[in-house]
Amino acid sequence: MLDPKQLETLSAVAETGGFDKAAKKLFLTQSAISQRIRQLEEQLGQPVLTRTIPAEPTEAGRQLLQYFRQISLMENHLMNTLLPSGPRQEFTTLAIAVNADSLATWFLPAVRPVLDSQPVLLDIMVDDQDYTHELMRAGHVVGCVSTRPQPIQGGDSLFLGHMRYLCVATRDFARRYFPDGVTESGLAAAPTILYSRKDDVHREFLLHTVSYHGGFPYLTVPTPQGFVEITRQGLAYSLLPELMLDDDIAAGRLIDLFPQQHLDIPLYWHHWRVESELSQALADAMARHCQEHLRQ
């Protein structure tokens, strides 16, 4: 049987990146930390942490962490059922992964009712919506918002809806670069915004909507709010989630460059198949909110 104390120690080292910091976190000595990790490794016959700075879990370590997160969730649920909460509540921490655009728009309002009514703390990681499920598979998180429909082995997935993106610019920007509508020469000259240098969404949008294969100048700005601000300032055109647009289009601040076309990204909530009221409450809250706020 695995010793939960050893797993907790592994989790603390993986979380803080160091034996010294884990010791501080758990109010233990550093040698107690080393001893527990050594015992765990002896039991398994292989290392669970790399001896790098920061220390990282090995593949075996990752699987242990995933298991530990799952049993923590189950135990916490059990304890919350057995011990009605007093004035000093014990919080459950849920590690989840979300794409940046969801975090900037619907995610926090969607989970707020759960955070309001239950003693839960979220540990949110942000990654590309095509990669969040890797964080879940690796055991870093217990749930994720992802574009992937297929459940991960041992998990369930729930369709939330589509995030719709519109390709927009200020009127002045459109007049300058696209005076006669969107043309190839306009696309080759007009700066847009990518989330990172490796972001292919804009290129694919142009390919699918207007079969444009050429290059285009771009800024890279790694925050959704930066996209909005730069686009509103008239410095670039960009694909923005309609949820971030307020009344920009109705008020004439921004115009839709491709009024007949848009990009719909499907989003799914993935979570481990664990008997947990909390996990269920989160999924329900998201489904309810997205039913109203995402495109179905």
CB of 225 to its own copies, least distance (A): 6
CB of 81 to its own copies, least distance (A): 20
CB of 175 to its own copies, least distance (A): 14
> Can the peptide bond before residue 57 be classed as cis, meaning omega within 30 degrees of 0?
no
Q: Please state, as a whole number, how many other Cβ atoms lie within 10 Å of the Cβ of residue 78.
A: 12
Interface residues with its own copies (CB under 8 A) are 15-17, 25, 88-89, 91, 100, 103-104, 108, 112, 115-116, 121-126, 189, 191, 197-198, 215, 217-223, 225-226, 229-230, 233, 235
CB of 265 to its own copies, least distance (A): 19
Cα gap 137→135, rounded to integer Å: 6
CB of 149 to its own copies, least distance (A): 25
CA 159 to chain centre: 16
Show Cβ contacts of residue 42 under 8 Å, excluding neighbours closer than 6 positions. Answer: none
Q: Is 65 exposed, middle or buried (0-12, 13-18, 19+ CB in 10 A)?
A: buried
- 183-188: long-range pairs with CB below 8 Å, 24+: 184/212, 184/214, 187/212, 187/214, 187/216, 188/214, 188/215, 188/216
